Amino acid sequence: MESTIQSAKKRDNTVNNAFASHFAKSMFLTVVGLAILVFIGTRMFTHIDLNLYGYMVGTITFLGGFFYRFISWGERPPTKIIIKKGLKLLFRKSTAKTAVSHLAIYDFIKKRGFYRWMQHILIGWGCVLACLVTFPLVFSWMYFNMDGNGYYTVVLMGVDLVRIKADGIIAWFSYNALNISAIMVITGVCMALYRRMKNMQARAEQKFMYDFLPLYMLLFISVTGLLLTVQNVFLHGWMQPQMSLIHQFSVIVTLIYLPFGKLAHIPFRPMSVLARNYREHYGEQHMKECKVCGDKFVSVEQSNDVIQVLGTNNMEFNMEDGFNLAELCLPCRRKYRIARFSGFATHQVKVKEANQNARG
């Protein structure tokens, strides 16, 4: 009895009980962490660029939306299983290879065609490059000090990192990194828009708010960002303050929208590494045989997890034939459903579907 009371007290004194929800805890700790990093990076708040204040507010708002969406998604029973078991397998030998394939070179998209792969490479890496430049500048983790002798000092987290020539190649890439990322995104978005307008399957499935709007928002951000450089270099700064506000507004709106639209798959993408590790690890141990055709189609662990999740959600698919519907491979599962309506045991027909292994 005493041990039970003590354990209950320990649970009551945990950090989680100091917050109203997982969202509140995640948001609080993130904002505190950002404040500490800004304090260090700005040398105790002595170097803050107030022109980037709007981007900072937009980023913090984005984090709030991201945590809300991620926690809501992560609380679902199937997601909990993938995250819990995937994290335990994070240090598998194949994790690095999977991460490169899924997060760097998008090898899984290349199987759908070179054109789609290239548009994803341009959009994905264009956005990553823009974030790697923008966020350190927004939170003053990195900035440049101009010396009187034609050199810049790159300051990273409050430490003088390196001195570079103001007219050197490194400085040129530093000045134009956002322009390069904008050109990459514009090219990738135009490729995506062209495909969506010409490909009949894409035209039949797409929706303006879900499919087109995110592309237009990325395009607008990139174009207005390039216009800032054009105004500065060729127009001697004509209407640059107005364009700067338009560009900043477009970035903030996109950051706020990002967690709740199609672009949310960008910050969620790392979870695919956990899912891949989960499938590979348990697939190497013991594969489940289809109760009808005998083909090995999924791991025993995954099949049991699916049945468990269905039971958690009060969705029972135990059939009169003595098996659960989740214990059938996809072709047999489709034919079994047909059999339930037609009265003919189509799932027992040995002929497989012609396109059962199709990719797309």
Identify the CATH number of the domain in which residue 215 sits.
1.20.950
| Total of domains in the chain | 2
Let me know if residue 208 belongs to a domain.
yes
Let me know if residue 190 belongs to a domain.
yes
CA nearest 81: which of 302, 250, 336, 329?
Answer: 302
CA nearest 264: which of 106, 68, 52?
Answer: 68
Do 249 and 183 sit in the same domain of this protein? yes
Q: Identify the residue whose tokens are 């027909």.
A: 349
Do 195 and 323 sit in the same domain of this protein? no
**For the chain, what percent of residues have pLDDT higher than 90?**
27
Domain holding 330, by residue range, is 286-348
Do 326 and 210 sit in the same domain of this protein? no
Sign of CA dihedral 30, 34, 37, 43: negative
Let me know: does 184 contact 178? Beta carbons within 8 Å. Answer: no
Do 319 and 228 sit in the same domain of this protein? no
Enter the tokens of residue 289.
């045989």
pLDDT > 80? residue 17? no
Do 28 and 128 sit in the same domain of this protein? yes
Let me know: does 294 contact 327? Beta carbons within 8 Å. Answer: no
- The predicted-structure confidence for 52-108, as pLDDT tens digits, reads as follows 888 988 999 999 999 989 888 888 888 889 999 988 998 888 899 999 998 999 988
Identify which has the larger pLDDT, 348 or 250.
250
Let me know if residue 12 belongs to a domain.
no
Residue ending a domain, among 272, 301, 334, is: 272
Let me know if residue 87 belongs to a domain.
no
Do 302 and 268 sit in the same domain of this protein? no
SS3 216: helix
Enter the tokens of residue 87.
């994290």
pLDDT > 50? residue 334? yes
Residue ending a domain, among 243, 272, 301, is: 272
Let me know if residue 99 belongs to a domain.
no
> Judging by DSSP bridges, how do beta strands 151-156 and 142-146 pair with one another?
antiparallel
Quick one: residue 43, left, alpha or beta (phi over 0 = left, psi -120 to 50 = alpha)?
A: left
pLDDT the model gives residue 179 = 94
Let me know if residue 163 belongs to a domain.
yes
Do 31 and 143 sit in the same domain of this protein? yes
R_g over Cα of the chain: 26
Do 127 and 35 sit in the same domain of this protein? yes
pLDDT the model gives residue 216 = 95
User: What's the pTM?
Assistant: 0.81
Do 145 and 230 sit in the same domain of this protein? yes
Do 267 and 301 sit in the same domain of this protein? no
Let me know: does 158 contact 43? Beta carbons within 8 Å. Answer: yes
Let me know if residue 360 belongs to a domain.
no
Residue ending a domain, among 238, 272, 306, is: 272
Let me know if residue 94 belongs to a domain.
no
- The predicted-structure confidence for 234-284, as pLDDT tens digits, reads as follows 888 888 889 999 999 999 999 999 999 888 888 888 899 999 999 889 988
Do 294 and 264 sit in the same domain of this protein? no
Do 259 and 320 sit in the same domain of this protein? no
pLDDT > 60? residue 4? no
